[in-house]
Structure 1
Amino acid sequence: MKKLSILIGILFLQNVLAQEEKCGLQKSEFNIYKVNAEDVKCLAKNSDKKNTIFFTFARWCEPCLYHLPNFKKIEEYYSVDSYVLLMDDEGSKMTKSAVDYILEGHPNAKIVILKDKEKRNGRKYKDFLKEITPSQFELVTDMSKYIVLNKSGEVQLVTSWKDNKEYPEWKDDSSTIKRIVLPLLEKK
């Protein structure tokens, strides 16, 4: 059984590395890949899964902390590539804190970080959301978003706090996941 687990782990790692290699991603100083909107689409196109899901996260974001466990549960039951997408500056202490926090609870999590822009004006996240959000979705620049892409790299969903009508205090996003995220995904 242990050999089977090791083999599955090796195959999983090879697939992840192949995706990242095909997209030409570079690593940040915390050994996580740097991405922009086109890279996110490339990862989805090169996935062996029907869908790829990204969860936007920052260590200082309270909704992110509450919603991360629900995000990680999705990959337990659904055939999906899942990535935690960090928003802070590539080399910041907040990024290090976020990586440590995520890996402490989810040691196999795939983490990527939004590329820093040449001019740091605090707009990299807003600019990313403008690029990634299709016109049929309202552009809301909040955190703790679920971004679902299909195998063609097309964005199928970008959530916002407005989707969580059942729990306006934002601590529980399970109804939003069940209502609008899971219907897009394929069960294992």
Structure 2
Amino acid sequence: MKQNIFLLLFLISIGLSAQNATVCNLQKSDASNALKVDQNDLICIAKNSDRPYTVFYTLASWCAPCRMHFPDAVELEKTGKVNLFVVLVESEQDKRLGNAINFIKSTFENVKFGVLKDEIYGTKTGKRNKKIAKEITPTHNEMIADYGKFILVDQGGTVLYVTNWKDYNKDWQNSKKMLENKILPLIK
């Protein structure tokens, strides 16, 4: 019985991911199996979500805190109110992108993910990350171009919160505590 439920949930998540890709006109990268995304695509994905909120989690393959906090990003989806979509900040052509995809799939196989578009964000990881952080961070949040951001967007397409390293209050290893203080109150 448990296996049937997991299979059904897996099939639903694949269908919803495919639906978002179609509705938002998302294209696959020629260099990888990832969907290519920009700020407008992220908003479209959130607007077409089957849940009230979408968390976009930025991840770089070499970023130890990104990898450490990734399971907590996945846990947010278990609230039933959040869809998770991982945004890979490495270039579509970057050899490390495959490492990021393998890490995601080996950790949580069914997570939806995409890579920032090279034609909009360029190919230098730091500049790509800074540009998306600048574009998506609302004015009521401090914009810091760090990695491993939790970007909370409601189904209306409003960016409610974008985390940064200061949200951890000097306890950067404890993303659960940060999420309890910054993200979970916004989705209750």
Which of the numbers 150, 154, 179 marks the counterpart of 1:177? 179
The answer to whether the 8 Å contact 1:117/1:124 transfers is: no
C-alpha separation between the residues in 2 aligned to 1:26 and 1:150?
A: 23
1:33 matches 2:35: yes
Q: Could you say which residue in structure 1 is the equivalent of 2:148?
A: 144
Q: Could you say which residue in structure 1 is the equivalent of 2:20?
A: 19
How many residue pairs get aligned? The number is: 184
Q: Secondary structure at the match of 1:19?
A: helix
Cα deviation, residue 3, structure 1: 4.2
Deviates more, 1:112-121 or 1:129-138: 112-121
Post-superposition Cα deviations, 1:116-157, rounded to whole Å, max 9, x if no partner, equal 136545522211111111111111000011000000111000
Q: Secondary structure at the match of 1:99?
A: helix
Post-superposition Cα deviations, 1:156-185, rounded to whole Å, max 9, x if no partner, equal 000000000051xx2221111001111122
The structure 1 segments of at least 4 consecutive aligned residues displaced by more than 4 Å after TM superposition are none
C-alpha separation between the residues in 1 aligned to 2:170 and 2:47?
A: 33
State percent identity of aligned pairs. 33
C-alpha separation between the residues in 1 aligned to 2:10 and 2:105?
A: 16
- Alignment-mate amino acid for residue 136 of structure 1: H
Q: Could you say which residue in structure 1 is the equivalent of 2:129?
A: 125
Cα deviation, residue 84, structure 1: 1.1
1:50 matches 2:52: yes
Q: Could you say which residue in structure 1 is the equivalent of 2:64?
A: 62
The answer to whether the 8 Å contact 2:90/2:123 transfers is: no
Cα deviation, residue 11, structure 1: 2.4
Q: Could you say which residue in structure 2 is the equivalent of 1:162?
A: 166
- Alignment-mate amino acid for residue 128 of structure 1: I
User: Normalization by structure 2: what TM-score?
Assistant: 0.91
Give the structure, 1 or 2, with the largest relative contact order (CA under 8 Å, sep 6 or more): 1
C-alpha separation between the residues in 1 aligned to 2:90 and 2:128?
A: 9
1:92 matches 2:85: no
Cα deviation, residue 77, structure 1: 2.7
C-alpha separation between the residues in 2 aligned to 1:149 and 1:23?
A: 16
Q: Could you say which residue in structure 2 is the equivalent of 1:116?
A: 118
Distance change (3 Å), C-alpha of 1:56 and 1:121: closer
- Alignment-mate amino acid for residue 169 of structure 2: K
- Alignment-mate amino acid for residue 134 of structure 2: K
- Alignment-mate amino acid for residue 74 of structure 2: K
Q: Secondary structure at the match of 1:56?
A: strand
Once superposed, what is the RMSD of the aligned Cα atoms? 1.6
